[in-house]
A = this chain, B = another copy of it.
Amino acid sequence: MTTTETDRAASDPAGAPSARTRIRRLAENARYDRAALLAIVDATYVCHIAFHDGGQSHCIPTACWRRGEHLYVHGSNGSRLLRVLQSGAGVSVSITHVDGLVLARSAFNHSMNYRSVVLYGSFETVNGDEKVAALADFMAHLAPGRQGQARPGNRNELAATTVLRVSLDEAAAKVRTGGPQDDAEDLDLPVWAGVLPLTLVPGPPARDAACNVAAPDYVLQWKDRTF
């Protein structure tokens, strides 16, 4: 057990990292296992960020990637999202994978299989070498092995881009797997019960018409990526 895990266990009897990440609803689906949580983060390309600005809530999807114990996002300096996040406003970020529909024998026991992470925190700006390294990690997340192949950003491109990160310390995962949980008295009803699975699947790479470079390994292996 790491120090972080000890602290986490100490801060909440259920093992949640904080009171606001303790999962109350369907708590049996909560997963405080760190490796499971990081795997959910690593399986996504997009997160949703909730923030409050101008007296109202906003929910904005944006690309993301993980580097160590932080979730990173980036964007153009001028975007409202990044300006608000740079102010250090408290945010909540969510990542969700839908893994299937769970059809139960009764309407109200229908459910979904999913993996999700919700975190609370504040973004901080990443600069200098750390900014360059974070963007290299982003490329590695998109296409492992492509780092150093595409033309790297020049000074202007780098300066026009903001990179931000938020700690994954205050994050909690929720996972549902398996079949329907019907009431005992419904088990003999003559209705189909089971799971209709859903998977995010890589499609055949589509080379740009003006490109005649042979597919590198990360393109050939795209079909094997799992989410």
Taking beta carbons and an 8 Å cutoff, which residues of A are in contact with B?
20, 24-25, 45-46, 48-52, 55-61, 63, 75-76, 78-81, 89-94, 96, 98, 100-101, 103-108, 110, 112, 114, 116, 118, 120, 135, 139, 142-143, 146, 149-153, 157, 161, 179-180, 186-187, 189-211, 213-216, 219, 222, 227
Q: Which residues does chain B contribute within 8 Å of A198, judged by CB atoms?
A: 45, 200-203, 227
Q: List 7 A-B contacts (CB under 8 A).
A: A56-B90, A59-B93, A104-B150, A107-B152, A107-B153, A192-B216, A194-B219
B46 touches A51 (CB 8 A): no
B56 touches A103 (CB 8 A): no
A192 touches B179 (CB 8 A): no
10 new A-B contacts, CB < 8 A, other than A24-B80, A98-B200, A193-B213, are A25-B78, A25-B81, A48-B61, A50-B57, A52-B57, A106-B150, A190-B213, A192-B213, A194-B219, A197-B204
Pick the contact of A197: B96, B143, B202 (CB < 8 A): B202
Q: Which residues does chain B contribute within 8 Å of A143, judged by CB atoms?
A: 101, 103, 196
Q: Which residues does chain B contribute within 8 Å of A200, judged by CB atoms?
A: 98, 198-201
Pick the contact of A20: B56, B76, B196, B199 (CB < 8 A): B56
Pick the contact of A192: B114, B194, B201, B211 (CB < 8 A): B211
Bound: A54/B8 CA distance, A: 22
Q: Which 6 A-B pairs have the closest CB atoms?
A: A197-B203, A50-B50, A50-B59, A48-B48, A59-B92, A106-B151
Bound: A192/B222 CA distance, A: 13
Q: Which residues does chain B contribute within 8 Å of A189, judged by CB atoms?
A: 150-151
B194 touches A207 (CB 8 A): yes
A52 touches B52 (CB 8 A): yes
Q: Which residues does chain B contribute within 8 Å of A116, judged by CB atoms?
A: 61
